[in-house]
Structure 1
Amino acid sequence: MTEEVAYVYAVLRPAEGLDAALGALTGVAGAPVRLVPQGATDAPVAAVSAVPAQDFREDALRRHLEDLTWLEAVARAHHDVIEAAAARTTVLPLRLATVYLDDDRVAAVLREQADAFSQALRRLAGRLEWGVKIYVESRADARGADETVAAGAAEGVSPGRAYLRARRSQRHARDESYRAARQAADRVEAIGRALAADHARHRVQQGELAVGGGENVVNDAYLLSRETAADFRSQVLGAVRDLPGVRVDVTGPWAPYSFTAPPGGDAPGGDAPGGEPPGREPPDGDAPGREPPAAERAP
């Protein structure tokens, strides 16, 4: 018989119909999802699946985190469970690959941290996460340089001097874009201070993670009430319309992945069968804690 451990997706505020809704889901490793209570009525509960222990031991998990196919499957299942729960109740998402030895251990953690979990859920009640990414776009490209050189030649300027002129023009345009991006960041933060309950800053995304082209210079998350979210999005998108070379993407709403730590401490990391905590985020935002899978740019 395969040894199993308890994979924990999130801590939740109890709600009518939540058990049945989650029970219809398939979670990590194709396992059904269930709720683990701590015992007290109306106290926080946990969304849990039984997963093979061998896949979540420290050494095995380290290998799996390098396997993008495995990682994507786990991240999507993790995200789908949390999003389904968030549609019905307040959710405190846990890190990807948070596991405990069994349901009894999960219930014990719920009891040990009951006050912190309850406080965190009260803070998150009626609020969801929105992401804001600011990009510096490449306005002065090679075609622009070629055009500048050609224009210089038509004016009788040597190719070398025309090329230097083009390079100066590119640097100027790039510097202007960075100044505009700083101005955009200041405007967005001011809007966040007025409308958001909390603000989290993440590492900027690079390479394939930088969706839509350009250089990602701001990658932030804001915790917003349902009532203020539309106003926040409208103001943020409007704040950069007059800034050249800058693009802003607003994504959401998401479950509050960036605001998961209970007040006064970190979210629990779980315990592996070997006693080591395997609940680590994959690098560069591949876990839902960084960017929910299949995030779409706001139109």
Structure 2
Amino acid sequence: MPVPVMPETPVGDELLYVYTVLHTASPPAPPLELDVHARLGTGLEFVEHQGLTAVVEPVDAADFDEQPLRSHLEDLDWLAGVARAHHEVVARVGRGNTTVPLRLATICRGRQGVRRMLAEAHQPISEALRRVTDAEEWGVKLYAHTPDDAQPEPAEPGATAEPGPAATAGAPSGRDYLRRRLSDRRAQADRTGQAQRAAEALHQELSHKASGAVLHPPQQRQLTQEPGQNVLNAAYLVPTAHRQAFLDGIPSADDLPSGVRVEVTGPWVPYSFTHTSAAPAEPS
């Protein structure tokens, strides 16, 4: 995810971390207070301009000014902490309000910088707010079983393996081994093909039940640690009133091809459908 970086802050200028934007006409109903461990700065504040309200927080220049922020980009643990705080604020705001989250680590210089950003991005933010009003995001993923998912049971301490047929009847020939490997590959290709066809059909059906759909790249197994090959990684923008109809379109395990499983997550603030060109304004 690209992280906007602003020029060095002169002494006395306040840095404001901008989390998300909502309509000024519908201020947040619940108190927007975070657990002390999740805060990035000194507490949440609001900056209003032209009918839009940005949820911001003053942050320390020692972490969020240009040079330290560039250094932090190499620290995945630090970025993960920022991401958790960012998403928690957005989720709290989104519980009772339509909101447009901004990119991770969007930093502005002072309230005037926030107002300038809201003015320059007023049209895309307003369009995004209209697009996601009374709607929520749902994630749907399909996974196909792979041979690596089935691991042999570990032998008990001190146990001795019984000799198998290969040990008593002679080791299989190289030709037999290659034939078996080819058969396994063909079987896996068939399973993957079935899973991909199921993913295409499911995505088409769910897209008809949603007001928007986004296909994300399949997730790498090494990163997610989830069993199976990810063949569908999609997000759907679902009108709140149509939630049940959408969920009824999710197939049960019995309706999926053998070795294919579905994972449904949500509802979320519609991150996938609120992309804007908003970015910190250049300091005056």
TM above 0.5? yes
Distance of 1:19 and 1:191 partners within structure 2: 36
Q: 1:54/1:222 Cα in 2 relative to 1: closer, same or farther (>3 Å)?
A: same
Matched position secondary structure for 2:103:
coil
Matched, 1:226 2:236: no
For residues 1-80 of structure 1, the aligned pairs below 5 Å read 4-14=14-24, 18=28, 21-23=31-33, 28-38=39-49, 40=50, 43-80=51-88
Q: 1:24/1:249 Cα in 2 relative to 1: closer, same or farther (>3 Å)?
A: closer
5+ unaligned residues in a row in structure 2: which ranges? 1-10, 153-163
Matched, 1:194 2:208: yes
Structure 1 counterpart of 2:271, from 246, 254, 257 = 257
Matched residue, 2:141: 133
Distance of 1:160 and 1:24 partners within structure 2: 64
5+ unaligned residues in a row in structure 1: which ranges? 144-149, 276-299
Matched residue, 1:95: 103
Q: 1:63/1:234 Cα in 2 relative to 1: closer, same or farther (>3 Å)?
A: farther
Q: 1:60/1:154 Cα in 2 relative to 1: closer, same or farther (>3 Å)?
A: same
Q: Is the 8 A contact 2:121 2:277 kept in 1?
A: no
Distance of 2:253 and 2:246 partners within structure 1: 10
One-letter code of the match for 1:120?
Answer: A
Q: 1:123/1:25 Cα in 2 relative to 1: closer, same or farther (>3 Å)?
A: farther
* Displacement after TM superposition at 1:34 (Å): 1.4
One-letter code of the match for 1:229?
Answer: R
Structure 1 counterpart of 2:277, from 251, 267, 274 = 267
Matched residue count: 262
Q: 1:80/1:214 Cα in 2 relative to 1: closer, same or farther (>3 Å)?
A: same
Matched position secondary structure for 1:98:
strand
Q: 1:77/1:177 Cα in 2 relative to 1: closer, same or farther (>3 Å)?
A: same
CA displacement 1:60-102 (0-9 Å, x = unmatched): 2232122122111111110010000000100111110011111
Q: 1:219/1:187 Cα in 2 relative to 1: closer, same or farther (>3 Å)?
A: same
Distance of 2:174 and 2:264 partners within structure 1: 43
* Displacement after TM superposition at 1:204 (Å): 2.1
One-letter code of the match for 1:5?
Answer: L
Q: Is the 8 A contact 1:184 1:243 kept in 2?
A: yes
CA displacement 1:5-36 (0-9 Å, x = unmatched): 11111111236561762256656424311111
Matched, 1:118 2:126: yes
* Displacement after TM superposition at 1:156 (Å): 8.5
Q: Is the 8 A contact 2:24 2:48 kept in 1?
A: no
Matched position secondary structure for 1:18:
coil
Q: 1:112/1:171 Cα in 2 relative to 1: closer, same or farther (>3 Å)?
A: same
TM-score, length-scaled by structure 2:
0.79
Distance of 2:247 and 2:183 partners within structure 1: 34
Work out which of the two has the higher radius of gyration on C-alpha atoms and give 1 or 2: 2
Distance of 2:19 and 2:234 partners within structure 1: 23
Q: Is the 8 A contact 2:206 2:249 kept in 1?
A: no
Matched, 1:203 2:211: no
Matched position secondary structure for 2:219:
coil
Distance of 2:206 and 2:86 partners within structure 1: 28
Percent identity (aligned): 37
